[in-house]
Chains A and B, each alone.
Chain A
Amino acid sequence: MIDKDQYKVYQEPFYQQQRNEVALYEAAYRNRLPVMVKGPTGCGKSRFVEYMAWKLNKPLITVACNEDMTASDLVGRYLLEANGTRWLDGPLTTAARIGAICYLDEIVEARQDTTVVIHPLTDHRRTLPLDKKGELLHAHPDFQLVISYNPGYQSLMKDLKQSTKQRFTAFDFDYPEAALETQIVAKETGMDAAVAAKLVKIGGVARNLKGHGLDEGISTRLLVYAATLIKDGVAPRDACRMAMVRPITDDADIRDTLDHAIDATFA
């Protein structure tokens, strides 16, 4: 039997509620509705799910999706062994068996045929047919499916099918308001609020440039990185360049503008 405790979140992750999403999620979980979390990269989607798992005291199984992932990577496969074969559950099957929250991160990265296997788990059936094994798995009453995706870098190839989208309730995340984000950066790193506010301001500059050469603005995660570096004694200008500007762009004009914003903010 699988040890379900290994998937538990034991320490409270820091999560700053933006609106009433915690209560809404709890309502969705009470009714075991599948949840979709949308939002730009680094705005706190995964942290939110982790926090909810902790709050609900349920195991959390996270799967980072990639384009090489096949259905059997999710569901499970027969392994060949020296004396025969052995069935190994995939993460989705495991979650359905032990009653965990299964979090499929960046679901659009997975191939479209892969995402179809989650369908029977997300409607009233709550079952997972394991056709190779000849088993119809009924999901544990505590099981819930959560997916996340980033609509920002949507391309023709990377979008969810309507039939998939329409099986989920959804949360739309965005970068928090400046004041709130300042608080988050400060709390996460122990940075004083004045410097955190400056970082948030530079982040705002980059977010204004989204669509004008930047695909995405500077994420809260990068702000936290910058604050961490500053906390460690790196000069603020260097830390900002290193953690906030260089990662997001190769465009010389944008880099120059953001560098100027850093200089103008850290006088």
Chain B
Amino acid sequence: MTETEYQHPLMAAYWKQLDTRFPQVEEVFEDCMAEALAVLTREGLDAYLEAARVIGKLGRGVEPMLAFMEEWPSTAKAVGESALPAVMALIQRMQKSPNGRAIAPFLQTLAPVARRLQSQEQLQLYLDMTLDFMERTTGSIHGHHTTFPSPGLPDFLAQAPNLLNQLTLAGLKNWVEYGIRNYGTHPERQKDYFSLQSADSRAVLQRERHGTLLVDVERKLDLYLRGLWQDGDHLVPYSTAFDELRKPIPYYDKLGIRLPDVYDDVTVGCAVRTDQAGVNQGGAHGAPYGERIPGIDRYRAVLAHIVGHRRWSEAQVADNWSPFQRMAVEFFEDCRIETLLIREYPGLRRLFLALHPKPLADACDPETASCLRHRMAMLSRALLDPDHGYTDADLNDFVARFHAVMAGGESSTGEIAALALSYVAKTRRQSDQFAKVHFADTVVDYRDDNRQLWKFIEAGDEEEAFDETRKIEPDQEIQGLPPRHYPEWDYSSQTYRPDWVSVYEALHPSGNAADIDRLLAKHGALAKRLKKMLDLLKPQDKVRIRYQEEGSELDLDVAIRSLIDFKGGATPDPRINMSHTTAGRDIAVMLLLDLSESLNEKAAGSDQTILELSQEAVSLLAWAIDQLGDPFALAGFHSNTRHDVRYLPIKGYGEHWGDDAKARLAAMAAGYSTRMGAAMRHAAHYLGARPADKKLMLILTDGMPSDVDAHDERLLIEDARQAVRELDQQGIFPYCISLDPKADEYVGDIFGRQYTVIDRIERLPERLPQLFMALTK
């Protein structure tokens, strides 16, 4: 490629200034310059060319330079050309770090990002965040002397515009933080996260989104359907976050009503271009211009519309109608049911009109584009809005005919379809066939896709062909219960990691029940002493009810007072008796045993392992609680990473403390680690469902919460502390019995003051039941 001679001297000078030999740059040079000349100042233009020259000389190939040339003018238009030094500074930092590969994606997405952010301050925050991201994820791998580029950065930069469409900058920051923290040391996972491939990446994104989430308002919408419409169905969310090209539309079928997972609030009139302000003033029946319609009301509008279809629409045979005819029928039918809905609840008119676009009468040029959609949208507006203000004669004629049809009652889908067909015939234009369709302001986004409105006689290449039921291969039968997922608390960001831990529940294996009986016999003397204490605890405490007119005993205090009144001539109080009732003892107990590997160690000062001592202690405690008659459950837990937390019930609430339960206790074995928070959450799931007044969860453990996949030892401690808070909120009283002599360092952090450390483990069998009794006295 030889150097090109530009005709225009100025252009030639610019080209020279650029000082590049890339042929690809030359191809786009003139277009870029035209755009740059339009938006940049003289100095800005020089800076632009200089920056492009520098980027071209970075030795990263043509990509970064091309991207910069193309993107900068529109970036500068969005945030101002003075942002250039900051951008260049970041590029220099990238160039000096091993992350040069990320320069191209950074520049390629700069313009859309800038358009979202709209201000230089915001852009600066974005640049800072990118830099921070880069520095924290670029690192060395132990044993290698080179530094490695950040694995997630290019993916993140490529996703940035899409992310900013859904998140605020603060939300984006949280999402990035989460990724860096949890996948900072795992290159492959990090890539998955930042390219939105992994499940928790999407889950965290969902959490940070702006707008009204369906899950948050699902109950309100259920109540809305049931209360206002006596209808009800599953509300199934579909994701709007990842389908950029073809936005799904609400619909309903046998399986439920499909709604978008999130609706942003909208401002009335925003659908109309602002350069023609003053046209859409709402009017007497619509919401005033500029009013915000909250997301929940958009959901309500969709649901009302769908209810309307379910009530009044009848499926029509579609085969003989052209797509245009069908579209017209859909618009007319939608308006028919909305008219009926408004009859039911007049306030809906305001809502529908606020969400319905108001196309400008002359927005579409029939000479160059297909105006069918535009005409239909205008008609639809006019059918609902008495002050539509359109002057088109045909339109007004059909509005009048529509109202005449509706005046007689509900009309029907068939009748309204006939009207729609004659409208299509009346207003047909040659240009309706044009490929270029005028779309602006014609989408009524609270309406469903009307799939239920059509039935097809001939099974052709229509949509149905894809819905043929596939034969489902019989899968392997599921062994045991499916896992339950629990969140885990991340203390550094003060957020939950959604569905982080999988808890598998399976009945504890059984051993020989006689072993437990033998243990109990061994502690016979202790059992006798405990029995005395238990008898004192048994529900026998009487409560005195005073001021009874009729009771079992005379209440002397009151009787004397009454007598004084009587002697003094005043009217005495006749309620001088008292009676007694027994106060019941209503405590449900859950005993949670840590069955981690460390239990196999010998206890200090004893020839028994901690496991054996725990077994004895738990046997005695179980016996004691059984004597008292309190409902109790017993379960062990251990964990092997967050994907495999095992929860092993030994005795359930419904079970008798008999041979089955004893046999399971006898088989108690230790292994793996201690992920305490998840086990507590799962146990709370059972304990919380008990109808008792007081709920006590005892946790017997020999060490701090830990697991092989948790590198930060604070993490699981903080999670357990959070789990304790959750228990408190559920009205469960957690209490920890720790066998770790060093437990004072952390157990207080988790359980506050609700713990005991047992130093002399050999005395555990004696201490545990005593402790329980002291707690429940």
Show the binding face of A for B, using Cβ within 8 Å.
70, 72, 77, 79-82, 205-206, 208-209, 212-213, 253-254, 256-258, 260-261, 263-267
**A-B contact list, 27 entries, CB within 8 Å:** A70-B550, A72-B549, A77-B549, A79-B571, A80-B562, A82-B569, A205-B227, A206-B227, A208-B227, A209-B226, A209-B227, A212-B226, A253-B219, A254-B223, A256-B220, A256-B296, A257-B220, A260-B297, A261-B227, A261-B345, A264-B228, A264-B345, A264-B351, A265-B345, A267-B346, A267-B348, A267-B350
- Cβ-defined contact, B566 with A209, below 8 A: no
> B469 CB to closest chain A CB, in angstroms?
34
- Cβ-defined contact, A257 with B224, below 8 A: yes
Complex CA gap A77/B550 in Å reads 12
Which residue of the partner chain, among B219, B220, B571, contacts A81 with CB atoms under 8 Å? Answer: B571
Residues of chain B in range 528-584 having any CB-CB distance to chain A below 8 Å: 549-550, 562, 566, 569, 571-572, 574
- Cβ-defined contact, B347 with A267, below 8 A: yes
Residues of chain B in range 206-238 having any CB-CB distance to chain A below 8 Å: 219-220, 222-224, 226-228, 230
Beyond the given A79-B571, A267-B347, could you list 9 further A-B residue pairs with CB under 8 A, ordered by the A residue number? A80-B574, A82-B569, A212-B222, A212-B223, A212-B226, A213-B223, A257-B224, A266-B346, A267-B348
CB of B300 within 8 A of chain A?
yes
Instruction: Give every chain B residue within 8 A of A260 (Cβ-Cβ).
Output: 224, 228, 297, 300
CB of B349 within 8 A of chain A?
yes
Instruction: Give every chain A residue within 8 A of B572 (Cβ-Cβ).
Output: 80
- Cβ-defined contact, A261 with B228, below 8 A: yes
- Cβ-defined contact, B348 with A264, below 8 A: yes
> Taking CB as reference atom, which chain B residue is nearest A113?
B550
Which residue of the partner chain, among A81, A82, A253, A265, contacts B223 with CB atoms under 8 Å? Answer: A253
Complex CA gap A36/B526 in Å reads 61
Instruction: Give every chain A residue within 8 A of B566 (Cβ-Cβ).
Output: 80, 82
> Taking CB as reference atom, which chain A residue is nearest B569?
A82
Instruction: Give every chain B residue within 8 A of A81 (Cβ-Cβ).
Output: 571
Instruction: Give every chain A residue within 8 A of B349 (Cβ-Cβ).
Output: 267
> B296 CB to closest chain A CB, in angstroms?
8
> B704 CB to closest chain A CB, in angstroms?
40
Instruction: Give every chain A residue within 8 A of B219 (Cβ-Cβ).
Output: 253
- Cβ-defined contact, B347 with A263, below 8 A: yes
> B582 CB to closest chain A CB, in angstroms?
17
- Cβ-defined contact, B574 with A253, below 8 A: no
> Taking CB as reference atom, which chain A residue is nearest B350?
A267
Q: How many residues of B contact A (CB 8 A)?
A: 27
Instruction: Give every chain B residue within 8 A of A79 (Cβ-Cβ).
Output: 571, 574
- Cβ-defined contact, B347 with A266, below 8 A: yes
Show the binding face of B for A, using Cβ within 8 Å.
219-220, 222-224, 226-228, 230, 296-297, 300, 345-351, 549-550, 562, 566, 569, 571-572, 574
> A249 CB to closest chain B CB, in angstroms?
11
> B565 CB to closest chain A CB, in angstroms?
9
Instruction: Give every chain B residue within 8 A of A213 (Cβ-Cβ).
Output: 223
> Taking CB as reference atom, which chain A residue is nearest B231?
A208
> Taking CB as reference atom, which chain B residue is nearest A205?
B227
Instruction: Give every chain A residue within 8 A of B300 (Cβ-Cβ).
Output: 260
Complex CA gap A79/B570 in Å reads 12
> A85 CB to closest chain B CB, in angstroms?
10
Asked, given contacts A209-B223, A253-B223, A257-B227, whether A77 binds B350 with beta carbons under 8 Å apart, the answer is no
> Taking CB as reference atom, which chain B residue is nearest A73?
B549
Instruction: Give every chain A residue within 8 A of B220 (Cβ-Cβ).
Output: 253, 256-257
> B307 CB to closest chain A CB, in angstroms?
13
Instruction: Give every chain A residue within 8 A of B347 (Cβ-Cβ).
Output: 263-267
Complex CA gap A101/B438 in Å reads 78
Asked, given contacts A80-B566, A257-B223, whether A208 binds B230 with beta carbons under 8 Å apart, the answer is yes
> A226 CB to closest chain B CB, in angstroms?
17
Complex CA gap A208/B225 in Å reads 10
- Cβ-defined contact, B346 with A264, below 8 A: yes
Complex CA gap A213/B224 in Å reads 12
> Taking CB as reference atom, which chain B residue is nearest A209?
B227
Instruction: Give every chain A residue within 8 A of B346 (Cβ-Cβ).
Output: 264-267
> B357 CB to closest chain A CB, in angstroms?
21
Interface centre among A209, A264, A266 (most CB of B within 10 A): A264
Instruction: Give every chain A residue within 8 A of B348 (Cβ-Cβ).
Output: 264, 267
> B229 CB to closest chain A CB, in angstroms?
9
- Cβ-defined contact, A205 with B571, below 8 A: no
Instruction: Give every chain B residue within 8 A of A205 (Cβ-Cβ).
Output: 227-228
Complex CA gap A261/B296 in Å reads 13
Instruction: Give every chain A residue within 8 A of B230 (Cβ-Cβ).
Output: 208
> B570 CB to closest chain A CB, in angstroms?
8
> A204 CB to closest chain B CB, in angstroms?
9
Complex CA gap A79/B566 in Å reads 11
Interface centre among B219, B223, B574 (most CB of A within 10 A): B223
Complex CA gap A254/B297 in Å reads 15
> A58 CB to closest chain B CB, in angstroms?
31
Complex CA gap A79/B226 in Å reads 56
**Which 5 A-B pairs have CB atoms at the shortest separation, nearest pair first?**
A267-B346, A264-B347, A264-B345, A267-B347, A257-B223
Instruction: Give every chain A residue within 8 A of B222 (Cβ-Cβ).
Output: 212
> B416 CB to closest chain A CB, in angstroms?
24
- Cβ-defined contact, B227 with A258, below 8 A: yes
Complex CA gap A5/B346 in Å reads 52
Complex CA gap A72/B345 in Å reads 54
Which residue of the partner chain, among B226, B296, B549, contacts A208 with CB atoms under 8 Å? Answer: B226
Interface centre among B224, B346, B550 (most CB of A within 10 A): B224
> B352 CB to closest chain A CB, in angstroms?
11
> B230 CB to closest chain A CB, in angstroms?
6
Instruction: Give every chain B residue within 8 A of A265 (Cβ-Cβ).
Output: 345-347
Complex CA gap A258/B351 in Å reads 16
Instruction: Give every chain A residue within 8 A of B562 (Cβ-Cβ).
Output: 80
> A38 CB to closest chain B CB, in angstroms?
25
Interface centre among A72, A80, A256, A258 (most CB of B within 10 A): A80
Instruction: Give every chain B residue within 8 A of A82 (Cβ-Cβ).
Output: 566, 569
> Taking CB as reference atom, which chain A residue is nearest B217?
A253
Complex CA gap A260/B294 in Å reads 12
> A239 CB to closest chain B CB, in angstroms?
16
Complex CA gap A212/B228 in Å reads 13
Instruction: Give every chain B residue within 8 A of A256 (Cβ-Cβ).
Output: 220, 296
Instruction: Give every chain B residue within 8 A of A263 (Cβ-Cβ).
Output: 347
Complex CA gap A61/B718 in Å reads 65
Complex CA gap A30/B220 in Å reads 51
Complex CA gap A266/B349 in Å reads 11
Complex CA gap A256/B41 in Å reads 54
> Taking CB as reference atom, which chain A residue is nearest B346?
A267
Instruction: Give every chain B residue within 8 A of A206 (Cβ-Cβ).
Output: 227
> A169 CB to closest chain B CB, in angstroms?
32
Instruction: Give every chain A residue within 8 A of B223 (Cβ-Cβ).
Output: 209, 212-213, 253-254, 257
Complex CA gap A130/B571 in Å reads 23
> Taking CB as reference atom, which chain A residue is nearest B342?
A267
Instruction: Give every chain A residue within 8 A of B550 (Cβ-Cβ).
Output: 70, 72
Interface centre among B228, B347, B349, B350 (most CB of A within 10 A): B228
- Cβ-defined contact, B549 with A70, below 8 A: yes
